[in-house]
Amino acid sequence: MAHIIHDISRTFNEYLLIPGLTSKTCNPDRVSLKTPLVKFKRGEAPEIELNIPFVSAIMQSVSDSKMAIALAQNGGLSFIFGSQSIEEQAKMVRMVKKFKAGFVVSDANLTPEHTLQDVLDLKEQKGFSTIGITDDGSSNGKLLGLVTSRDYRPSKDPVDKKIKDFMTPFAKLVTGSLGISLNEANDIIWEHKLNTLPIIDENQRLRYFVFRKDYDNHNENPNELLDSHKRLIVGAGINTRDYKERIPALVDAGVDVLCIDSSDGYSEWQKVTIEFVREKYGDSVKIGAGNVVDKDAFLYLAEAGADFIKVGIGGGSICITREQKGIGRGQATSVIEVAQARDEYYEKTGTYIPICSDGGIVQDYHMVLALAMGSDFIMMGRYFARFDESPTKKIMIGGNYVKEYWGEGSNRARNWQRYDMGGSSNLKFEEGVDSYVPYAGKLKDNLDLTLGKVKSTMCSCGAISLPELKDNAKITLVSSTSIIEGGAHDVILKETK
């Protein structure tokens, strides 16, 4: 008969942190959230460290070049989704590596022949009030003009009015030349009292925007995650099917770390993929693997040579693998067992392999629980999908703004490589859903709030670093009634407008 594991499969929601001694020196300003991303030997430093323990999920609806730039600027990392052509994914990696802080690629563009209605629709979709008017409506077309909210009056101007009749034409624009420094661009903005400075090349093609509102933000990214050449660090997701073509293209584009994207990583296919990397690139190319939920699977991928290992099956908010296939495990139980296996492996071999908790995060304090239970960093999809920087549309439903969010195992993503078991047959059923998440605004504003909570909770546990949190945190199981006790109860809540 099957081997029956009698331990209960538990979620983060079934645990609470017990406060430790908060010393006078234990305050949020002193908390360090640095954490290793890739494996390292005892006494050595990891080649890549995160400044915050967050990475964004390998999903079409979460991680593109824009998210990768924003998250790296704030100390984390994005794994650009792999369920797209090799060329498009490599292009996104290059965009991140070529990014210059303060120089923003325009992704809201129209042509002079478009109408005011097109402007209003694009503003609704993208949330931007500055629109570059180019000859072909692309982000790098010949710049012909600019439209801002000061150029039209929705209440009086007809919606079929052509953009060419109300835009600020190129002849009246102040522009900067490609190659200009950020300081020089800001000087022009202040000298001419501009809100936006278009940056163009020698052929008048739009290359970037520099915004006045970003002036104060240039010095607000002390946690930027940079490589040795001062470029932002970026990851990319791969599969176990076209890896021989995809990996070289991504490496050529400058990717810093790869991750095999799969709902079940305990597979010979992953071992073969890692072996390909080691044979072709040695240890110079970093590659993570997963997902796993127990010791045996961790050890298999550790021996295969994975640089980090992702933990979690079926715990994501849009994942229905457990419902469809009946495989998986509660995220808390998975992290606890794999973290113990990781520590035992470290003691035995002297090699520390970071683990990433992927899924199961509902509340911000769940992040601290995941880290205290042994995770080195956390991968999140729903959390990041809510922000301006995610690649999905912002739409209004029922009077509230939401953003689209779908799983890689959904019919919409059609990412059969992620759920493929080998052989000639492809994905025949869905393991993810298509949904919406509440729109939350800018990544930085929300992330700063979340990190503030995480640091405050760590201080309540008496820890000012993630290793201290792992070593010293005390965690307790909670009953269903104590969960109710932990929220507002036995009161009549006031209605908020």
Q: Which amino acid is at 389?
A: E
Q: Taking the CA atoms of the chain, what radius of gyration do you get in angstroms?
A: 24
Q: How far apart are CA 343 and CA 310, in angstroms?
A: 15
438 neighbors 390 (Cβ within 8 angstroms) = no
Catalytic (active site) residue 207: no
* Candidate list 246, 329, 386, 418, residue with the active-site label: 418
Q: How far apart are CA 11 and CA 440, in angstroms?
A: 25
* Candidate list 319, 356, 459, 461, residue with the active-site label: 319
Q: How far apart are CA 432 and CA 414, in angstroms?
A: 10
Angle at 310 between CA 74 and CA 362, to 5 degrees: 65
Q: Both tokens of residue 451?
A: 């990190």
Q: How many helices (H) and strands (E) does the chain have?
A: 15, 24
Residue 203, CA distances (Å) to 141, 142, 265, 297, 361 in order: 10, 7, 49, 55, 48
| 245, burial (CB in 10 Å: exposed 0-12, middle 13-18, buried 19+) | exposed
Catalytic (active site) residue 259: no
The residues near 477 (Cβ < 8 Å, ≥ 6 apart) are: 10, 14, 15
308 neighbors 256 (Cβ within 8 angstroms) = no
Q: How far apart are CA 143 and CA 136, in angstroms?
A: 9
The residues near 410 (Cβ < 8 Å, ≥ 6 apart) are: 318, 430, 431, 432, 433, 434
The residues near 111 (Cβ < 8 Å, ≥ 6 apart) are: 133, 134, 135, 136, 137, 144, 163
Measured torsion, CA atoms of residues 308, 313, 316, 322, in degrees rounded to the nearest 10: 170
| DSSP-assigned letter for residue 231 | P
Residue 469, CA distances (Å) to 31, 55, 342, 464 in order: 11, 19, 17, 7
202 neighbors 53 (Cβ within 8 angstroms) = no
β-sheet with 196-200: strand ranges across: 176-177, 196-200, 206-211
Nearest to 35 by CA among 23, 18, 53: 53
Angle at 58 between CA 302 and CA 8, to 5 degrees: 60
Catalytic residue numbers read: 319, 418
